[in-house]
């Protein structure tokens, strides 16, 4: 069952909502409503909330790749969210309130915090792969003072490993 949540949000929050919507749609290859974007951001970050220093969230470096055209109606969005998301929003409000030492946190502010955290996490996610690790190690050996012959042997070794991994569908 879904509930409707209408809030007032800041222009920056509306831009972050659009950025996350694009990101989620691109990575999941389906369309998302604003309510689904909010729900996904909450669920994607929920496990880190207790360890998050909410005082620092608004200072996290995030990049808005472009300017979004935000209508005045987008500053009062109506989110269709499931009933299990509503208590998480209330929990988030209490965590932020306690962390930033304030008397009250609006739903709009809580949304801004969680969207910023979600954007920061996906923009700073390190995709570690076997290939990345192997080539980083090879680069570290290239920086060392070793003979050109040894460097060539290492490069051949890495090339052989990469071929074997690719042939066996391990990459």
The CA-CA-CA angle for residues 105, 75, 60, to 5°, reads: 55
> pLDDT (tens digit, 0 to 9) for every residue of the chain, 171 residues total?
788 888 999 999 999 999 999 998 888 888 889 999 999 999 999 998 988 888 888 887 888 878 888 888 888 989 888 889 899 999 999 999 998 888 998 999 999 999 999 999 888 876 566 777 787 788 887 778 888 898 888 888 888 888 888 888 776
Of 17, 28, 24, 35, the closest CA to residue 116 belongs to 17
Query: Contact 103/94 with Cβ under 8 angstroms?
Result: no
Q: What is the pLDDT of residue 127?
A: 59
In angstroms, rounded to a whole number, what is the distance separating the alpha carbons of residues 99 and 146? 52
In angstroms, rounded to a whole number, what is the distance separating the alpha carbons of residues 21 and 40? 10
């Amino acid at each position: 069952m879904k509930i409707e949540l209408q809030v007032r949000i800041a222009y920056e929050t509306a831009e972050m909502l659009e950025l996350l919507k694009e990101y989620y749609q691109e990575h999941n290859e389906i369309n998302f409503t604003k309510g689904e974007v909010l729900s996904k951001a909450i669920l994607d970050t929920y496990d880190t909330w207790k360890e998050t220093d909410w005082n620092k969230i608004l200072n996290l470096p995030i990049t808005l790749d472009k300017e979004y055209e935000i209508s005045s109606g987008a500053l009062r969005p109506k989110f269709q969210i499931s009933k299990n998301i509503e208590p998480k929003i209330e929990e988030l409000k209490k965590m932020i309130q306690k962390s930033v030492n304030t008397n009250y946190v609006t739903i709009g502010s809580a949304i801004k915090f969680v969207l910023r955290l979600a954007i920061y996490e996906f923009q700073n996610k390190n995709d570690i792969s076997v290939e990345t690790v192997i080539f980083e190690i090879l680069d570290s050996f290239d920086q060392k003072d070793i003979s050109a012959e040894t460097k060539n042997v290492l490069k051949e070794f890495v090339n052989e490993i990469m071929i074997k991994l690719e042939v066996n569908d391990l990459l």
